Chains A and B, each alone.
Chain A
């Protein structure tokens, strides 16, 4: 491989992963989308607008915070937290929804559709649609609607319509199926705002680019604080957008170790997990060639995680690529480790992390004591945990 790692995708592919495995009717749409995105990216006016909203509306840059108490407790490498939980909406999701919604507006699409699992991407979509005057529609599995009733109501307050999806397993993957079906039916009027680094090209690239603001800020902030680069970056991986946003600006800095942390649910051996890269195999799903959790006949598997945001049987193709070329290491944390990490951060640092981000923390907790005190780990705290308080009470047996 002669190309720099960061030069991918090449013709829509990351090595052999990625591509455009979509029904014919969508081929012209995604080709058109790629052209529109390439033009927007090169347009200083588009970039200026994006920067304006990121600063004034989202509240960027988010802090890079040295978690001194946690560092002291673990007695190893310094732990820094990239505070995406402090972005407007309470998660990193808005970096992407803002970029894509500005693109939708530029393309003259007035109707925006999105999928959501836990509701974080749905809420981030609803927020930018309200702010930019777009009509928002969010597909959400009926099972998820039930589990995340407050987020359904939040989206409705933000003037977005929530369409419950009752097909298949009634969760995230089915809401994506339904969003694709809507898109092929309303191609002319509609922009499909995908929430993670997944789907057909150009989505994995576009979402990564919009999320890269995370890694770029980490690089600047860390340099300003220490003059160098961190030794390791840790981020959780469901579809993989906060991890891609964290890793991408460091892809060619091979001295920085990259750790993606998947959800092992009740344990890999139990079969009830969402650890696609750890336990899956290659396949074609939701428009991309990537690692997939599937049975031996190629049927997509049901997944499980205590955090709904990691509960997805596929993964972004660039992660499959980074795994294959060994640029990133993919590990996992189970439900219990994530909950313990959640409780530890609450107690030690006064921060409630999202259960998704708690998986990344759980790995950092294992990693820090194996490293020297003069080394540093940056953990991307992708979201805040207020949404998970009920779940935490339930799994710890507490009464609210």
Chain B
């Protein structure tokens, strides 16, 4: 069974970084999410993040906001997301991560939700509005369920807090590439490259370093991997393909994933 940790090790041995893909579960409908996951995994995605949609996603740009609304409109509930996750896990031996805001998890019951997630094959969680300072209950529940806790670091994070965040993180550290919300950009700024170089010594030997926000093209992936990241996280670029919802959507997703994965070669 592959875990987040073993996947990073394996790809490293093969001379690759990891490609982490984000999609919103239930977008455009819960029924279609497993086949979207299939296409991305066929294309070479190493770790899949499934977004559990929330009504008020303050860290997300318009692409993921709209995906969340489509998913909620089509009746996506936390329970349904767990079912979808289980369905994907039954077909593919790859790590699955749930990304969501804290309120849906809290409302379900943090301990109960994490335990049920583990039971269907979830490997880890990302909760962007839960900083380490507020995460005691969540960390306890995750340790009990043996789930990875993936925290975020940003360009504004101080060295002191970075150490604390790395210590609380397992699986990987999610480094936010720039000031702003999620969404595809035209290029990767020099400041992002500098940021990766600054953060990398803090994670080296402890936890993998994955970079997200604004990464949408193979040249972006190449740049962040060359700067020292262990993985690139791509979300909005895939969701734009889902949102366009063309007849050859699945083929497009697979090709996009494949080109992005090729760019992780070190």
Residues of A within 8 A of B (CB): 19-29, 167-168, 173-174, 177, 180-181, 184-188, 281, 283-287, 292, 294, 296-300
Contact = CB atoms under 8 A, between A and B. Distances in A.
A25 B78 CA distance: 26
Contacts of A294: 103, 107
A285 B176 contact: no
Contacts of A19: 133-134
A196 to B, nearest CB: 16
A298 B107 contact: yes
A25 B56 contact: no
B12 interface: no
B130 to A, nearest CB: 6
Contacts of B130: 21
Interface string B109-132: 000000000000000000011110
Interface stretch (B1-9, B37-45, B61-69, B215-223): B61-69
Given A167-B62, A177-B58, A185 B107 contact: no
Nearest to A186: B179
B158 to A, nearest CB: 6
A254 B238 CA distance: 58
Given A168-B55, A285-B103, A294-B107, A20 B157 contact: no
A298 B103 contact: yes
B141 interface: no
Contacts of B152: 23-24
Contacts of B165: 24
B102, B157, B181: which has the most chain A beta carbons within 10 Å?
A: B181
Contacts of A20: 131, 133-134
Given A177-B56, A298-B105, A24 B62 contact: no
Contacts of B59: 23, 181, 184
Given A23-B129, A294-B107, 4 more contacts: A167-B62, A177-B58, A284-B101, A297-B104
6 contacts: A25-B176, A27-B133, A28-B161, A181-B59, A298-B104, A299-B104
A24 B55 contact: no
A180 to B, nearest CB: 4
Nearest to B135: A21
A277 B181 CA distance: 31
B56, B77, B108, B161: which has the most chain A beta carbons within 10 Å?
A: B56
Contact of B157 (A27, A181, A296): A27
Contact of B55 (A186, A296, A299): A299
B230 to A, nearest CB: 19
B58, B105, B108: which has the most chain A beta carbons within 10 Å?
A: B58
Contacts of B181: 181, 184-185
Nearest to B61: A181
A352 to B, nearest CB: 34
A31 to B, nearest CB: 9
A23 B58 contact: yes
A185 B62 contact: no
Contacts of A168: 55-56, 65, 69
A187 B179 contact: yes
Contacts of A25: 154-157, 176, 179
Contacts of A186: 179
Given A28-B156, A184-B179, A21 B134 contact: yes
Contacts of B54: 298-299
A365 to B, nearest CB: 36
B153 interface: yes
Nearest to A301: B55
